[in-house]
Chains A and B, each alone.
Chain A
Amino acid sequence: MSRVRLYLSNDTSSCAAGAERLAEAWRQRSEVELIRTSSRGAFFLEPMVERDSPDGRLAWCHVTADDLPKILAGDGGLPISTIPFLSKQTRHTFATFGVTEPLSPEAYQAHGGLAGLRTAQQLSSSAIIREIKTSRLRGRGGAAFPVWKKWDVAATTTADRKYVVANADEGDAGTYCDRMIMEGDPFRLIEGMLICGRAIGAQAGYVYCRQEYPKATACLHDAIRAADAAGWLEFDGRRFSIEVVSGAGSYVCGEETALLESLEGRRGVVRARPPHPAQSGLYGQPTIVSNVLTFATIPNILARGGSWHASMGTEGSRGTAVLQLGGRVKQPGLIEVPFGLTLREVLDQFGQGMADGARLKAVQVGGPLGSLFTDAQLDIPICFDAFAQADAILGHGGIVVFDHETDMLELSRHLMAFVADESCGKCVPCRIGSVRAREILETVQAGQATEADLSLLAELGDTMKLTSLCGLGGRAPYPVLSALERFPVEFRSRLRS
């Protein structure tokens, strides 16, 4: 009897949703050939099982082990192309997710992998950087700095050694696209780092991966070993080594200079800038620090040309936005679309509204430092400039939806307590300001605060915004003050009369 090939994601979230249980149950079944892939990111449908058909892949959703006979008989499978959550997306960086085996160099190349690196190998350093400039790619980690400018500085600075560092400290709660890349398409990250390394003339690369991602760490180790065995870790006849380094639970280590301190084995304390890492970074040498998604976007740009990338998106935000939907929506998952859709369109078209019984109260975009939006504010286009004008951030693309039961005062306290815990302590406004702000919110919760305390909170927030050394203290007041402004009753009704 011939075996039926079934595809099942090995992604952390797929497994947490039940994929691993299916794998265990079916491992011994002789009629099944199980291929473990990455996830398509439609997590609300997982665990999901696929098989080939003349019309492309068919999917079975919310599968239990008992569904096997049905799947083997081919009953009830849904063509992937008919799942609106997926068909409405514009997948480029995430195009092969759910399709291939993440750790197979052959599969990576069969789906167009290494085409970007091959192009880069034919180009001079300045021609590579010109291509990135044409693409108008901005960093996807939060700061949205033009990528080519950093590369240009690092390339034109003379130094003994130069480094490429992938920031895989995806610390913003509500975000998971970097984790998905490291587990599901690690060669794309490696290829992006190699292209950067060649452009700036670097000898070594590091991936600083948060400890909360054990599977991503393991996948990267394996992928680096496989890439090395395939002879990919070199250019211009020189070796380019890549090493994975684990973080240790500190959120601020996602800030690039704190990350470099941590990479050197010290306390992850923020460094004052300038100099910027592109001039003087790891061990004082020119270093490009970019997040995983940014590096993963690079191979397609080299393979298809900078103007291809620049043709998508909005004036100031070219290319695709990778959004991660979570919280109380009906369809949480990963979404890749050109910049420019509004937040409401994303929530309606992809999130399909709220989970059963829930009503929307607030949406937080960009992690724990991101501003809160109410229903009335959702018509904002997803792009860097519109968000900056609204005093908000896209950050790493995390979108968390809160329902009507959410206590906005408690959420504000939670967010400020997080900053107080995670502050590296280097600058006073963040170290002390976050603690005082948390205390004020606790006083409000205890029914002991007055109007004067709320004014003090706003004033303290302004000081933190203006004088903190990095984005942690500088952004911390935004969600809290936006909650205070948009849900004033929840604060004022708790004041001492």
Chain B
Amino acid sequence: MLGSMRYAVKTLPPNDLVDLLTRARPAEGAPPNILRVLHAIHDVCGSIDPGFIPAIAQSQGVTDADVAGVLSYYPSLNTQPAGRHRIQVCLGESCLANRCDLVVAAIRSQLGIDLDQTTSDGRFMLEPVSCVGNCAVSPSVRIDGELHGRVRPSDIAGFLDRYR
């Protein structure tokens, strides 16, 4: 990933992690739930530092390998630090039919990064996604929480300007 170390990484202060893991500890006799804990951390940090694996494993009473296995399995759990703004561009078939390739090309050329990369200033990360359920108003681009439909390549510059 381009220059991933050059910008601040959002992380969890050690005490918050301990708190979170304590809360996520399964109740007496209840089964562990690794994905749930990973989601909780991801929601706060935007990614998961693999250095947290042993602590997560301990809180759930599972092995480090169990946690690493779940973490590596799910595409939307990032282990790289997240950019400030997350651009998701849909490559699903309805968007494909509506030429999302041209939209991707416009974003790539304006940001100088490829899919699954982050700009060197940490401003944008660009992720592919397969369908956001907006197929009737495709092609679709989601920036942070905001979903844009019927996107034309010429819209991209204006969108990006709104996110600093």
Residue among B69, B74, B149 making CB contact with A13, cutoff 8 Å: B149
Classify the interface of chain A: helix, strand, loop or mixed.
Answer: mixed
Kindly supply a per-residue 1/0 record for chain B positions 127-154, scoring 1 wherever the CB is within 8 Å of any chain A CB and 0 otherwise: 0011111111110100001011110000
Chain A contacts for B132, CB-based, 8 A: 12, 212-213
Q: Chain B residues near A283 (CB, 8 Å)?
A: 31
Distance from A472 Cβ to chain B, minimum over Cβ atoms (Å) = 13
Query: Are the C-beta atoms of B76 and A173 separated by less than 8 Å?
Result: no
Q: Which residue of B lies closest to A177 (CB)?
A: B133
Quote the shortest CB–CB distance from A370 to chain B (angstroms): 9
Q: Mark B9-30, 1 if CB is under 8 A from A, else 0.
A: 0000000000000000000000
Cβ-based interface call for A491 (8 A)? no
Q: Which one of A17, A216, A266, A328 has the greatest number of beta carbons of chain B within 10 Å?
A: A266
- B30 to A, closest residue via Cβ: A283
Residues of B contacting A175 in the complex (Cβ-Cβ under 8 angstroms): 131, 133, 135
What CA separation (Å) do A368 and B95 show in the bound complex?
A: 13
Contact, CB under 8 Å: B137 / A249: no
> Are B147's CB and A15's CB within 8 A?
yes
Docked CA distance A400–B136 (Å):
10
Q: Is A173's CB under 8 angstroms from B77's CB?
A: no
Instruction: Assess whether A324 is interfacial by the CB under 8 Å rule.
Output: yes
Query: How far apart are B90's CB and chain A's nearest CB, in angstroms?
Result: 8
- Asked if B33 and A267 make an inter-chain contact with CB atoms under 8 angstroms apart, the answer reads no
Contact A249 B75, CB 8 Å, known A264-B33, A327-B93, A402-B97: yes
Cβ-based interface call for A268 (8 A): yes
**Restricting to B70-115, which residues have a CB under 8 Å from any CB of A?**
70, 73-77, 90-98
The verdict on B35 contacting chain A, using a C-beta distance below 8 Å, is yes
Which A residues are in CB contact (< 8 Å) with B134?
12-13, 16, 176
Question: How far does the Cβ of B70 sit from chain A's closest Cβ, in whole Å?
Answer: 6
Known contacts being A250-B74, A364-B93, A401-B97, is A326 close to B135, with CB within 8 Å? Answer: yes
Chain B residues whose C-beta falls within 8 Å of the C-beta of A328 in the assembled complex: 97-98
**Could you say which residues of chain A place their CB within 8 Å of the CB of B74?**
247-250, 268
- Does B6 sit at the interface, judged by CB under 8 A? no
Max chain A C-beta neighbours (<10 A), residue from B66, B93, B98: B93
B36 contacts chain A at the CB level, 8 A cutoff: yes
Closest CB in chain B relative to A341 CB, distance in Å: 19
Does chain B have a CB within 8 A of A387? no
Residue in A46, A174, A249 whose beta carbon sits within 8 Å of that of B93 in the complex? A174
Taking a contact as CB atoms closer than 8 A, the residue among B33, B91, B140 that contacts A16 in the complex is: B140
Q: Pick the contact of B97: A46, A334, A406 (CB < 8 A).
A: A406
| Contact A12 to B147, CB < 8 A, known contacts A173-B130, A400-B97 | yes
* Chain A residues numbered 163-181 whose CB sits less than 8 Å from any CB in chain B: 170-176, 179
Q: Give complex CA distance A15, B146 in Å.
A: 9
Chain B residue numbers with a CB within 8 Å of A179 are: 133
A443 at the interface (CB under 8 A from B): no
Is there contact, CB below 8 Å, between A176 and B135? yes
Minimal beta-carbon separation of A396 from chain B (angstroms) = 11
User: What is the CA–CA distance of A246 and B39 in the complex, to the nearest angstrom?
Assistant: 8
**Does A262 make an interface contact (CB < 8 A)?**
yes
Q: Are A17 and B149 in contact (CB under 8 A)?
A: yes
Check A173 against B98 for contact (C-beta < 8 Å): no
Check B35 against A326 for contact (C-beta < 8 Å): no
Determine the distance from Cα of A279 to Cα of B93 in the docked complex, in whole angstroms: 36
- A residues with a Cβ closer than 8 A to B are 12-13, 15-17, 41, 43-44, 46, 170-176, 179, 211-214, 216, 245-251, 262, 264-269, 283, 324-328, 332-334, 364, 367-368, 398, 400-403, 406, 411, 414-415, 418, 421
A-B contact pairs, 30 of them (CB 8 A): A12-B132, A13-B133, A13-B149, A15-B147, A16-B134, A44-B136, A173-B96, A174-B131, A175-B131, A176-B135, A212-B129, A212-B133, A248-B35, A249-B129, A265-B34, A265-B36, A266-B70, A267-B73, A326-B97, A326-B138, A327-B94, A327-B135, A328-B97, A332-B137, A333-B136, A364-B93, A367-B93, A398-B94, A411-B96, A414-B91
